[in-house]
Structure 1
Amino acid sequence: MTGNEILERIRAIFEENFAIAPERVTLETHLFNELDLDSIDAVDLAIKLQEMTGRRIKPEEFRSVRTVADVVVAVESLLAEQE
């Protein structure tokens, strides 16, 4: 899965689960400041990413995620573990 494919999947997750328009979700978008996610939303996002990748996300790995680009990198590393 490419970075662009991951971004599109993340946009779909935000739209379906958080009612956030896909055009608001760019690599530079800050999850908490710009998209108004809270800690519960972050847990929900982590669960959706686990479903998407089939891999468990360790909480300590997800704590440093701040932007959509960080989410893409986290998903890429989860997918790389499968190979």
Structure 2
Amino acid sequence: MAELPPPDELVGAQEIGKLLGTTKGRTKQLMALRTFPEPYVRLAGGGVWLKSAVLAWAAVHRRPRPAATDEDEQA
């Protein structure tokens, strides 16, 4: 039997949104792109992705976001 990834390596749509810092709608748009990784598995509740695959995709296909400054955090 194949070894399963650890639970913290699996992410659903909500976790993907948190990882990428996107809204629910924008997350769905990104997941619909042809370049977005295929889910590791599809369940009745939706797809489940490997966190590493999503982060690798983001590193290639998304522009880096500027780091928050002290002024941003105080606003």
Indicate whether the TM-score tops 0.5. Answer: no
Largest Rg, 1 or 2: 2
Q: Point out the structure with the larger helix share.
A: 1
- Could you tell me the TM-score, scaled by structure 1's length? 0.30
Higher RCO (C-alpha under 8 Å, 6+ residues apart): 1
- Could you tell me the TM-score, scaled by structure 2's length? 0.31
